[in-house]
Amino acid sequence: MRKVSFIEKEFYHIFNRGVDKRNIFLSKEDISRFLESMEEFNCIEPVGSILEQRVSRKLGRPTSNESGEKLVNIICYCLNPNHFHFILEQCADNGISEFMKRLSGGYAKYFNEKYKREGALFQGRFKSVHIDSNEYLLYVSSYVNLNYIVHGIKKDQIFTSSWEEYVGKIKKSICKSDIILGQFKTKQEYGHIARETAAQIGKKRYEEKMGRFFLE
């Protein structure tokens, strides 16, 4: 039974990784598919498949997610080779659970069909932490936006994050970034603070890792 209860208008740090720590993103196409799923499945109305959504849009028919009623607000995200992180705000009753069910199930089906494998793709149910203060929200936003730096992921690996939505010039955004950026004078100010926070977290993780190494 899940220890965290999801409440509307509250924020949560959501994360999960591949079963046996396996990579869940093997190509840029996989990343694109996951991002597309994040948008298409984020609606109160029932959704069939990504393909059905694409066909309906191509034919000019209304799609499930055009009602404007979302299950969650995506605040920020990071998709690393073998795991992902989100900050989500619940918008509807049971919104986070339903969103994650659709997203995880849909992507696992796509991945298994593409790579001709069977079985679970993710390591059990997704994990969640309630973000219970604004200070913690800002801290976790830095951690999630720059999570690939925290983990030392190299540029030639498969990953993406909402960092460019926050500090770059990307016009299309799937994040409700104003919740974070609205608290700063400029994007640059947020970027500076976020980089410092991520660097501190990365340094702490490295020191803890080395401490465990010398104790073994």
Domain annotation covers residue 197: yes
**pLDDT value, residue 213:** 45
Q: What is the mean pLDDT of the chain?
A: 89
Domain annotation covers residue 131: yes
Which residue from 22, 10, 9, 15 is spatially nearest to 119, judged by alpha carbons?
Answer: 22
CATH number at residue 27: 3.30.70.1290
Domain annotation covers residue 2: no
**pLDDT value, residue 199:** 93
**pLDDT value, residue 216:** 44
Q: Name the pTM for this structure.
A: 0.90
Domain annotation covers residue 78: yes
**pLDDT value, residue 215:** 44
Domain annotation covers residue 6: no
| Total number of domains constituting the chain | 1
Distances (CA, A) of 186 to 62, 145, 164, 170, 191: 37, 17, 14, 16, 9
Contacts 24+ apart (CB under 8 A), 89-92: 89/9, 89/10, 89/11, 89/12, 89/176, 89/179, 90/6, 90/7, 90/8, 90/9, 90/10, 90/12, 91/8, 91/9, 92/8, 92/44
The parent domain of residue 128 ranges over 11-215
